[in-house]
């Protein structure tokens, strides 16, 4: 009796699993091919650590005055010198990091959430809802952000909560417009229409399908807006409408030190360099994140 050949069927590997693995591997390769992105990410982590540990890093109380030693240059006791009241510039710059990051992250977070919710509702419901919300978005976008913030702070006064409110109201419409456009681009796709006809509630469709597949460009915009908010905060504080003088903040440090620019330039140079460096770090990070995710080239598929 002749032996029969046993045919072993080939097992096909799940394409979705391989696709997910390939996507993650490609993402990791993109990240490590961009050293500028990795450096900026490391710098952001360092900045966050400095903000959290400011009380341990700063050698002096940021508001401790020492008039006999005012406007000192670099020395062994004051590594970045002192300001016009004898306060240690290094300590005030370190504490200013905490102030600037708290305002920037809070403002961008609030504007991001408001923009995502309003933009998604406008695009999904359409009709009079879209018309009303779109006109509100256009109204806020019609005002230059810094002018709007100046006017509002002139009415409600300076302070961290007030500047967060003013900057949030001047920023949310940018996120809402982008989110609305992204949601409109996927609302008529087959899987969204299937979810609607399948009886899923509107809230479930929005939370499970629309937001996850439209939010990536808005996240990238948020990273870029952090630097913009830091600049706006510094500008408002420089004009005396942002942070009160007793709270260390880079813009107010420049505003107070500009009168001593000739005799004690470190009053302006130190916080100015801090603003420049931090804004540049967040801009490089945002641009790197945009390139890595290829939001304009790759379409995000539903999970």
- Written as one string, the DSSP assignment of 204-230 is HHIIIIIHHHH-HHHHHHHHHHHHHHH
Strand ranges, E, within 145-283: none
Q: How far apart are CA 85 and CA 71, in angstroms?
A: 7
The pLDDT score that the predictor gives to residue 282 is 94
> Is the pLDDT confidence value at 303 over 50?
no
> Is the pLDDT confidence value at 213 over 80?
yes
pLDDT in tens, 138-194: 999 998 888 899 999 989 888 899 999 999 999 999 999 999 998 888 887 777 777
Strand ranges, E, within 170-297: none
The answer to whether the CB of 260 falls within 8 A of the CB of 267 is: yes
Least confident piece of the model among 7-16, 242-251, 289-298: 7-16
As a whole-number percent, the residues of the chain with pLDDT over 90 amount to 41
The answer to whether the CB of 164 falls within 8 A of the CB of 105 is: no
Q: What is the pTM of this model?
A: 0.84
The HSE-up count of residue 4 (CA atoms within 13 Å, CB side) is 3
- CA-nearest of 115, 71, 68, 107 to 214 is 115
Rg (CA), the chain: 26
Maximum CA extent, the chain? 110
pLDDT in tens, 222-234: 999 999 999 999 9
For the segment 57-82, the average pLDDT, to the nearest whole number, is 86
> Is the pLDDT confidence value at 268 over 60?
yes
Q: Tell me phi and psi for residue 88, to 5 degrees.
A: -70, 120
> Is the pLDDT confidence value at 206 over 60?
yes
CATH ID of 99-295, from 3.40.50.150, 1.10.3720.10, 1.10.10.10, 3.60.21.10: 1.10.3720.10
The pLDDT score that the predictor gives to residue 108 is 96
List the chain domain ranges. Answer: 99-295
Higher pLDDT among residues 141 and 208, named by residue: 141
């Amino acid at each position: 009796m002749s032996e029969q050949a046993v045919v072993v069927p080939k097992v096909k590997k799940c394409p979705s699993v391989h696709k997910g693995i390939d996507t993650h591997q490609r993402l990791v390769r993109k990240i490590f091919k961009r050293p500028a992105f990795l450096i900026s990410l490391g710098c952001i982590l360092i900045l966050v650590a400095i903000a959290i540990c400011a009380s341990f890093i700063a050698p002096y109380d940021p508001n401790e005055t020492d008039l006999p030693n005012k406007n000192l240059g670099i020395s062994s006791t004051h590594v970045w010198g002192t300001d016009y009241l004898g306060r240690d510039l290094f300590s005030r710059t370190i504490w200013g990091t905490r102030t600037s990051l708290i305002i920037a992250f809070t403002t961008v977070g609030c504007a991001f959430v408001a923009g995502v919710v309003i933009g998604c509702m406008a695009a999904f419901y359409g009709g009079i809802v879209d018309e009303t919300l779109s006109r509100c978005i256009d109204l806020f976008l019609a005002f230059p952000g810094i002018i709007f913030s100046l006017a509002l702070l002139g009415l409600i006064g300076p302070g961290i909560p007030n500047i967060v409110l003013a900057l949030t109201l001047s920023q949310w419409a940018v996120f809402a417009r982008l989110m609305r456009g992204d949601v409109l681009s996927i609302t008529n796709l087959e899987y969204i229409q299937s979810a609607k006809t399948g009886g899923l509630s509107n809230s479930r469709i929005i939370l499970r399908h629309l937001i996850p597949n439209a939010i990536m460009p808005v996240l990238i915009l948020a990273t870029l807006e952090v630097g913009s908010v830091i600049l706006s905060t510094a500008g408002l504080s420089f004009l005396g409408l942002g942070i009160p003088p007793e709270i260390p903040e880079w813009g107010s440090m420049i505003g107070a030190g500009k009168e001593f620019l000739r005799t004690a330039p470190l009053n302006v140079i130190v916080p100015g360099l801090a603003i420049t460096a931090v804004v540049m770090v967040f801009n490089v990070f945002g641009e790197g994140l945009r390139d890595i995710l290829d939001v304009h080239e790759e379409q995000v598929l539903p999970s």
